[in-house]
Structure 1
Amino acid sequence: MRNLNNVPEVIMESKSIGHPINFKWTKKKINKLLDCVEGNIELENTLMQINHKGSIGLTAALLEWIYWRFTGYSQATHDTKKRIEALWCSINNREQTNPLLFDTDFEIPANGPVDGALWIALMNVRMIDARYRKGSYFLQNDLVGLVLLARHITPKKKIFDNWFSQTISNLTNSHPNTYKTDVLDESDEAVYDSSNEPVISREFFFDSEFQYTVEASENAIHNFIDNLDLKANSFLNFSRKAS
């Protein structure tokens, strides 16, 4: 699992690769994905149990589900792949990645189920990345839409559901959130420092034989970074020294 060239087995099992684009894509569905706070409190509360680096790992994994679903259907997946790589690198050291800005002038076409779904996904990731960099205590809230989107476009949803359920169970054990959300300042001005949280790797989410330890995760994520073409990805900035 040293790079994104190999499809994770669970994504293969979900029939996402090359499957016809036949999921529902109506104005009502789009609006629900864009404004997903209502009716998803349980999911939001579940995600709030995960710390920041665990949440960024989950973000990268969810975006990979979306990436493979649309590979072959849109050239935009090349950019999506680079964003996934940057998310993993930001877990190791976010100072060596650039902000995952996306469609800041709202000029990118977002019509149809492929471009529309990718637009929603990358806009969600942009917000998650911004909150991660800021140290927002409400980072996890922005994952709700990404979870719902990844599930919606997956052909075999039961496969996704089983993966997600097991992943959440694992994350709450290995990367639990240490702060209580019921006492947070709603102004979102407070800053949380996640630098001391343990890293997490792609193997945690997609390799059934991976045995999680802090050392194993550090080795895995360093191997992942070592296999990247750092100059080919504008979201990476390894000229910066680790802080």
Structure 2
Amino acid sequence: MDTTVVHPARRYNYWLGGKDNFAVDRESGDQIAAVYPAIRTLARENRAFLGRAVRFLAEEAGVRQFLDIGTGIPSADNTHEVAQAVAPESRVVYVDNDPMVLVHARALLTSSPAGATAYLDADLRDPERILGDPQLAATLDLSRPVALVLVAVAHFLTDEDRPHERVARLVDALPAGSWLALTHFTTDHIPAAIVERMYAEFAAGRMKQDTVPRDRAGFARFFDGLELVEPGIVPVTEWRPRVPPEQRPSLAEASIYGAVARKP
């Protein structure tokens, strides 16, 4: 574990108000917040989407198996907690590439007795390693529907990483009736002045770019061949919200797309 290098999971933990982060993560988080002050709101709204999406998958879609890649450091309402509150027999495999995340996951993400959880040290860039891991096979039955959960992780893959291809490979390995829940950062709803300043900071080397925002069309490509459920592709605040419009942040404050779709 290199505490001198920023890790997105620890920085995200900082934005959510957690304590499992280092000075380098906080410094990076503050640099981004100085340019885009709403980043903490975005992080909270993204996390809220995760809870609503998993609850939908467990309650309405009847999913009992989840593959959560890019888990992040445990917070409130983790995937297995939401799913097992609906169906205690739910089984969840968490995947992350940060040793600190896995240490916390093994300590804190304990399953109900009726269900199961497992934790894989792997990366979205290597779907074959994920799919071939013995713990995955021991925990999930890939002959039955699985919900693939990719919340705020695909935007860390550059175009050279072929993110759409990586996600498609994982979806292809799942049986018909499986699901994809995915969120992705976008600058579509951020004022142009903020976006210009952001890229000026990148160009000057004052802030490192480790996310690749994609527009609606780029986000929609992740769902090629899948059946989107209502309301389709929308900012996360608009995906089956539980509060009235006047209580939601503006799109500029939570500029991240979210959607859930079924594999036919």
TM-score band, normalised by shorter chain: under 0.3
Report which of the two has the higher share of helix: 1
Instruction: Calculate the TM-score normalised by the size of structure 2.
Output: 0.25
Of structures 1 and 2, the one with the larger relative CO (CA 8 A, separation 6+) is 1
